[in-house]
Amino acid sequence: MPAQSLIDRFRAGTERLTGARPDPDRRLGLAVSGGPDSLALLALAAEAYPGAVAAATVDHGLRPEAADEARHVAAICRRLDVPHTILAPEEPIGGNIQSAARAARYALLEAWREDEGLGWIATAHHADDQLETILMRLMRGSGVDGLSAIRPVNGAVIRPLLGMRKAELVAHAAARGLEAMADPSNADPAFDRVRVREALHGFPDFDPERLARSTGALLETSAALGWMVEREAREQIAASDGYVELRRTDYPQELLRRLALVAIGRVDPAALPQGPALDRLFERLRQGRKASIGRILVEPLAAGIWRFSLAPPRRTG
């Protein structure tokens, strides 16, 4: 595909997501790791919006070579006349490494965006990433929200490459002589995404536009459900001293699930019950039996009302 066509598509996709053209007064921030996808993002943005972009690389401190990779990106940015910043977390990454690193990365990028007065942060997620994500979430039993997968817009974060295939992005970076750095975790079969990527090797070509229509339909469904839940919660969820009541429970299962989560969150904002736990809770309540979920006691009352409250402390000794 001719390079200018890809640049035009990038420009159109970016401005569709932002609703405005980036300019020197409201620049587009770029998350650039040094891999081929993010280098393509860097090249496209520098060509589409000269003087109106800035880039950042996050060094999570997880690999010794990461510092050299960040400096490599800085050198490319100097060549493209794009301001560059290296970001690093103040505390070591621990726990679930991939999840914790992702959270730290987005927190650092958002702080950088605010400090620099940037309008948006663009990441290099593309159509192949989207397909992998959908398959991973299917295997994990995700619902409508999860299957919406990688959202084109999430707060100030935009993904203007979701309509592009990885192969054309790699070719664009290579055509500009941008040498990509390899992250060994992208080939480590210990990670779900790597195994899914390997399983898709040789998969027939797919149309990113059709994939976008499917994920867009799921996003619209999720938004519609959210709208209905907000309306019903105003009318059917009431709080008193020490408890919350869901005063109507004859909803379709998905609406009931979401309304129960609203009630649970009002009793214990830290509660994050998963689908199977909610299914067990509903089964007991429909049998007319009280049940617990986390620290919350749920009691079925007359007329189909469910009452949510913090469970009393367990007796010891």
Give dist(CA 88, CA 105) in Å, integer: 8
38 shares a domain with 164:
yes
Last residue of a domain, one of 152, 172, 206: 206
pLDDT in tens, 161-184: 999 999 999 999 999 999 998 777
Q: pLDDT tens for residues 251-292?
A: 999 999 999 999 999 999 998 888 889 999 999 999 999 999
Q: Which domain holds residue 251?
A: 232-310
Q: Out of 158, 190, 206, pick the residue that ends a domain.
A: 206
The structural domain count of the chain equals 2
Q: How far is CA 80 from the centre of its chain?
A: 29
**pLDDT tens, position by position, 302-315:** 999 999 999 887 66
Starting at the earlier edge strand, list the strands of the sheet with 306-310.
237-240, 243-246, 306-310, 296-300, 291-293
Task: Report the distance separating Cα 176 and Cα 170, nearest Å.
Answer: 10
Looking at residue 247, its pLDDT comes to 96
Whether 179 and 247 share a structural domain: no
Please state, in angstroms and rounded to a whole number, the distance separating the CA atoms of residues 83 and 279: 51
Output the pLDDT for position 27. 98
Residues 4-31: tens digit of each pLDDT: 699 999 999 999 999 999 999 999 999 9
Asked, for residue 14, whether it belongs to a domain, the answer is yes
Q: What are the structure tokens assigned to 104, written together?
A: 């730290």
Averaged pLDDT of the chain: 92
Is residue 150 located within the same domain as residue 51?
yes
Using only the alpha carbons of the chain, give its radius of gyration.
23
Domain assignment of residue 224, yes or no: no
Same domain, 182 and 247: no
Tell me, rounded to whole angstroms, the distance of Cα 125 from its chain centroid: 10
Residues 36 and 181 in one domain: yes
